[in-house]
Amino acid sequence: MIHKINAIDTGSCTMEFLDLSTIRLQYADNITIDLAQMKEDFLAYDEFTEGRKLHKLIIAGEQTDMTKEARLFAQTENQKRSKLIYCEALVLHTKHQVFLGNLYSLFAQLNYPTKVFSNEKQARAWIKKF
C-alpha cells in the first residue's frame, strides 16, 4: 500500500514517512503535552500509519515535556502496538528528556528495541539495523 499523504501535523507533532517502513515524529518546541493532546496524537498516528509495522524515529522538541498522565498513556499505547513497531529511536535534547527517555527504555516493558540518542543522524543509522 502506498500512502498518498506523506506528512500530517497535529499541532504538537508532525508525522512524516521517511521511507516505506520508517516514520519520523517531530514534536514542537517549548510545549507540554497533556493527556488530551497525547490521545489526539495517537489517534492521528493510527489513522496515518494504517496499521503498518514501522520503525519509529521520535524527535523531542527543544524544551518540550509531557505530563505524567501523557507519558503513562504513551507507554500503555506503545505496549498495545508493540507488534507494529520494529524499533524506536528517541532523539532527546535536555537532561530531563534524556532521564525520562532512559527510564522509558529500561522499564516500559516493550517487545521491541528502544534507544536514546542526542542527534538524528545516529538515530537513523541505528534504525537501519532493524
**What local confidence, expressed as pLDDT, does residue 45 receive?**
95
Question: In this structure, is residue 81 part of a structural domain?
Answer: yes
CATH, residue 116: 3.30.750
The answer, yes or no, to whether residue 95 has pLDDT greater than 90, is no
- Does residue 67 lie within any of the structural domains? yes
Amino acid symbol at 120: E
What is the pLDDT, as a whole number, of residue 3?
A: 47
Among candidate residues 26, 11, 22, the one with its CA nearest the CA of residue 91: 26
Q: Is residue 2 part of a domain?
A: no
**Domain of 52?**
7-127
Number of domains in the chain: 1
For residue range 59-73, list pLDDT tens digits in order: 999 889 899 999 899
- Determine the pLDDT at residue 102: 66
In a domain, 1, yes or no: no
- pLDDT tens, 16-74? 999 999 999 999 999 999 999 999 999 999 999 999 999 999 999 988 989 999 989 99
Triad 28, 31, 33: Cα angle to 5°: 95
Adjacent-strand bridge partners of 59: 26, 91
Q: Which three cell numbers stand for residue 42?
A: 495517537
